[in-house]
Amino acid sequence: MKTVHVNDIQEAVKKMCIDAAYFLPEDLKTKLEEARDSEQWPLAKDIYDIILENGEIARNEEVAYCQDTGMVVAFVDLGQDVHIEGGFIEDAIQEGVRQGYEEGCLRKSVVTDPIERKNSGDNTPAVINYRVVPGDELKITIAEKGFGSENMSRLAMLKPADGIEGVKKFILDTVENAGPNPCPPIVVGVGIGGNFDKSAAMAKRVLMRPLDQYNENPFYADLEKELEEKINSLGIGPQGLGGKNMCLRVLIDTYGTHIAGLPVAVNIQCHAGRHKDVTF
């Protein structure tokens, strides 16, 4: 059995919060470069150049890539043979977020109550998702999710009779209605199946998948590619100012569901794509 101390978890989360805000993920940078190079509309190409330049400035000067440094979502894969010592894992994660946002000079955007709207002052609480997995490793992934894109996300409880065409229509309508609001170019996470909450969880977690990987199931890999093409054909372009490329990737995850249901969730991610992970 492996033992992990909460102090190590706290320090790792703090560092991930800072690094995710400062450093554009390499797979996302590659996709941005590919999108820029394939653009024919000069304004769209210029926007991609600005986005990439902004990423380099953030990296070199170690400042936040975007002023909205988001609400932290943590995905915890806890091996069943891991023992956490020294305290409660959730307290350690929340404290790591608090310290990371303070030391990294990151904007604190979280309120303690959704109606009273009083700012917590430290960007907590983070939203934490747990999953028990086989083995003796603890993996923590954090994502800093801005709400320009989060607010454009949608979930539908479709009827089985709606079928694949209904699924496609819902995804395309969601992205088209979002327009420039999620700060495109975007990555689109899709969860199909499960139930109401499972589909939403899948749509967000799948955004952590490397952007050079397609779904292992050839049917859904083809669907990802088809949806990417159709979204980009809308002509919305980067920042909504027109162009060939609005969507860098569509990422789909699926799960079994009830005979009477067809849940579909779409979680849109802006071009910042901030996430980091650590394994103990």
Q: Are 252 and 265 in contact (CB under 8 A)?
A: no
Q: What is the mean pLDDT of residues 174-198?
A: 97
For 69, counting Cβ atoms within 10 Å of its Cβ (0-12 exposed, 13-18 middle, 19+ buried), the class is buried
The pLDDT value recorded for residue 34 is: 95
- Domain residue ranges in the chain: 2-21+65-145, 148-277
Q: Are 124 and 97 in contact (CB under 8 A)?
A: yes
Q: What is this structure's pTM?
A: 0.93
DSSP 3-state assignment of 76? strand
Model pLDDT for residues 193-208, shown as the tens digit of each residue = 999 999 999 999 999 9
The pLDDT value recorded for residue 72 is: 98
